[in-house]
Structure 1
Amino acid sequence: MHRHRHDLDPSTGFLTRIGGLRAATRAVAEADARGSSLAILWLDIDRFRQINECFGHAGGDLVIAQVAKRLRLALPTDCALLRMGSDEFVALIPSIDRHAATEIGYALLAEIERPLPIDNLLMRPSVSMGIALHETGEDPLSLLERADRAMVEAKRRGGHQLMISGDEALAGRLGVQLARNELAIEADLHKALEIGGLALEYQPLVGLDGRIEAVEALMRCNLPGQRLMPGRFIPVAEKTGLIVRLGEWSLLQGAQFAARLRDQGVATKVAINVSRAQLTSPSFAPTLHAALIYANVAPALIELEFTESLFLDYSETVQANLRSVRAAGVGMAIDDFGNGYSCLANLKDLPATKLKLDRSFIRVLPDDRRAYAVVKAMALLGRELGMTVIAEGVETAAQQAAVESAAVDAVQGYFHARPMSEDAMLDWLQERALRGQ
């Protein structure tokens, strides 16, 4: 994308405020068109006036440059970076949910706080951060204002922390409206559970040899006259604890679909996402076993997807649940790897057999050679560790060719198939079987 030089801040290389507003407008339009998510991270350096007073403006400029460098290195390659003020930065991160945005936020807090030498002293810079998730139909300025307001609340609470928009104590009509929106969504979720408004759609993971590696279950919420997008109802479900009920429902439905595929002669693994709230619950293992027994399905036909941070949660309950999954013979996959604070050193110790590379690496292919190098290296590393490597978010023939060249094992995305209903997924698999694929 061509950018005018006056759209770039000379000190950081980030977009200026004017160029940033244009980028935010484009990002929001794309999120609305695709029905995808978008996160805004607004950061303000803590005690920056004191830094200028102590070290002079040259010292302040050094801190600005170093914080900008750390932001660029730590954030996904497909995000846009803005300098909104002297010591304020914004990151626009596409296709990311609340959980992943929060993980990235905490990783940034830690990265920015690393010691920084200045005038023979070691200082630890810190930032206050606000995060806002785009809501369908929301205009760019409102989204940015919510992120800014959340950052102000984080600073009011002492700084060096992050605040999610909607979690802060807001005064006036905006706070009341946000609270009412969440209560309305919570009521919708309860209604969906009562009237059967929840559904799973399935998207296949297609091997480079044409073999179907698995089908991933994706939750949908349909009510009379409306369809709630996951980006709206999942965060509310996580906040209210309803995510545990939704997760239990998904386990049972996914297991039953795996049994149906087996009975129809197209036995295929069904991959089901597991949330942090589920894995931290003592009832998780019994629920998993109950789903397998009720559906009468072999554990080998079920695969559970966790983010890397869940594997690295060493609390007794989480680790016991992970051991139960492994002992049951259910497969485990690392989901969205690279979207957040991913660590290569941890891979050798994780009990997963599948590694799903986040779509942020794939979206910029084939043009971004650095992203291609990462995908190629991860494909090789994953195989050496005995993992099947999946490229998520493949939408075009050019992206497909790039990941084939990088030698991943399988791909998932619109290029092969969009998410579809149970019946449509069954028909799709049976048609491929008839064609000998």
Structure 2
Amino acid sequence: MIDHPYRPPPERPQRYFDTMPVADPLLDPITGFLNRKAGLRAAAILVAESNTSHIPLGTIWVDIDRFRQVNESFGHRGGDRVIALIAERIRAVVRLQCEYSRTGSDEFVLLVPAIDHAEAEQLARRLLVEIERPLRIDTILIRPSASIGVAINQIGENPIALLERADRAMVEAKRQGGNRLVMSGDEPLTGRLGVQLAREELAIESALHAALESGGLRLDFQPILGLDGRVEAVEALMRCYANGQQVDPARFIPVAEKTGLIVRLGEWSLLQGTRCAARLCRQGTPTKLAINVSRAQLLSPRFIQALHGALICADVPPALIELELTESLIMDLSETVQANLRTAREVGVGLAIDDFGTGYSCLSNLKDLPATKLKLDRAFVGVLPDDRRSFAIVKGMTRLGQELGMIVVAEGVETDTQLAALAEAGVDASQGFLHARPMTEDALLAWMKQREQK
């Protein structure tokens, strides 16, 4: 064998592409996230680590809604710009140890170690809010949204199964209309049980339509009492009857939300509630009346129109009406929701945050919400006075609410000892079976007249 000495290649002129950075074969060039192949590899490694350490691994699958319209409107360069901006927003929200990957043109997968079910849901809700913020492309302001599926690794599960569960949850979120999240396990069941549940939901939907058309809806009322015994307000509770039987609100409310009927139900409740408040006022027992409103109502551009219409038709002072908002709504204060709430307050209507303390409240959003009342969840009240940790939480939340200028109400009060503990904690008012069960309007009027005579 002849040993040839090394000779360097002849020099050549430098060309433009010689100065370009070499693309990382593992990264998506638009977002800087892992590409699909590298993301699958990262999932395999993190799932193996989770299975060994028994530390949970959260998988969040994000799909941008209606992204095809963006590409058709602005071209692929505009679409790439939107994807890059949304990727920045995702990074800004997920400030944890996390592997980001872009698995498709408008899909991202986040692998978050050491995160449980509740924390993953909270994080996904924050992503929904952040992604929905308007962004400007060229001269047009667009409002993106996302469908998100969340799955937590089950020990022993393989990475493909975990990713498939998150993907199925995302697909279900998109099927429900997008701009929402679905936790793995909350998707519709397959097989005989799934068919049974689907038929039950169809039957409930049919009952709701019939109730709206034939007068099968009714409001019951439960008083809220101040510590001095006065009636601070009355909450209106929707009831639905079909074929002479009452349908449990825990069954018909989720179906109404899924089918979009919740907006019609909410508008009916708003109109009937304001009319009841007007009648109570005319009969000499004026009191604030609290009416539950849903996120779907507050996202509707006609919400303020419906509110104005109800107040005018009932001819009731706005100060006698309160809108009760679920605590989870605080995590999703879109511009439309905030504008509707601000306008409601400007009209003179009160705002109450319901079931506070057991969800995933964002205190910065609570600070910005123009609420007038804070209702503490019954979960803290039922263990009083024995559970001193719950007492400390109630006392702390009461102080917080009052410092923010809100009346604090404890829900689910059933015993005198619970009421005494709540008085010690400083709450302003209470609601529960100790005072009165939900009742019809006629029964409420009689109850209030009877209290006046004492």
Q: TM-score, structure 1 length as denominator?
A: 0.66
Q: 1:322–1:156: structure 2 CA closer, same or farther, 3 Å change rule? A: closer
Query: 2:307 aligns to what SS in structure 1?
Result: helix
Q: 1:406–1:127: structure 2 CA closer, same or farther, 3 Å change rule? A: same
Alpha-carbon separation, structure 2, partners of 1:104 and 1:322: 27
- The offset of 1:52, in angstroms, is 7.5
The residue number in structure 2 matching 1:305 is 324
Amino acid at match of 2:151: S
- The offset of 1:283, in angstroms, is 0.8
- The offset of 1:267, in angstroms, is 0.2
The residue number in structure 1 matching 2:310 is 291
Q: Does 1:128 align with 2:148?
A: no
- The offset of 1:155, in angstroms, is 4.5
RMSD: 3.5
Amino acid at match of 2:370: P
The residue number in structure 1 matching 2:297 is 278
- The offset of 1:162, in angstroms, is 4.1
The residue number in structure 1 matching 2:168 is 157
Query: 1:420 aligns to what SS in structure 2?
Result: coil
Equivalent pair of 2:216/2:240 in contact (CA under 8 Å): yes
The residue number in structure 1 matching 2:121 is 106
- The offset of 1:320, in angstroms, is 2.1
Segment drifting more, 423-432 vs 309-318: 309-318
Equivalent pair of 2:232/2:429 in contact (CA under 8 Å): yes
- The offset of 1:49, in angstroms, is 8.0
Amino acid at match of 2:196: Q
Alpha-carbon separation, structure 1, partners of 2:284 and 2:50: 72
Query: 1:355 aligns to what SS in structure 2?
Result: strand
CA deviation vs aligned residue, 1:112-140 (integer Å, no higher than 9, x gap): xxxxxxxxxxxxxx97259xxxxxxxxxx
**Structure with higher RCO (Cα < 8 A, 6+ apart):** 1
Amino acid at match of 1:107: Q
Equivalent pair of 1:364/1:371 in contact (CA under 8 Å): yes
Query: 1:342 aligns to what SS in structure 2?
Result: coil
Alpha-carbon separation, structure 1, partners of 2:167 and 2:298: 33
- The offset of 1:425, in angstroms, is 0.7
- The offset of 1:164, in angstroms, is 6.7
Q: 1:250 aligns with which of 251, 257, 269?
A: 269
Q: 1:388 aligns with which of 407, 424, 430?
A: 407
Equivalent pair of 2:169/2:187 in contact (CA under 8 Å): no
Q: Does 1:405 align with 2:424?
A: yes
CA deviation vs aligned residue, 1:247-284 (integer Å, no higher than 9, x gap): 00000110011011101111000000110010000110
Written as runs of structure 1 = structure 2, the 5 A alignment for 1:223-372 is: 223-311=242-330, 313-372=332-391
- Deviating 4+ runs (over 6 angstroms): 108-111
Query: Which has the higher Rg, Structure 1 or Structure 2?
Result: 2
Q: Which runs of 5+ in 1 are unaligned?
A: 1-46, 67-86, 92-102, 112-125, 131-150
The residue number in structure 2 matching 1:432 is 451
Question: Number of aligned pairs?
Answer: 323
Alpha-carbon separation, structure 2, partners of 1:242 and 1:56: 43
Q: 2:240 aligns with which of 213, 217, 221?
A: 221
Alpha-carbon separation, structure 2, partners of 1:225 and 1:392: 30
Q: 1:260–1:152: structure 2 CA closer, same or farther, 3 Å change rule? A: farther
Alpha-carbon separation, structure 2, partners of 1:55 and 1:310: 32
Q: 1:129–1:192: structure 2 CA closer, same or farther, 3 Å change rule? A: farther
Q: Which runs of 5+ in 2 are unaligned?
A: 1-41, 59-112, 127-148, 154-161, 171-180
Alpha-carbon separation, structure 1, partners of 2:125 and 2:51: 25
Amino acid at match of 1:163: M
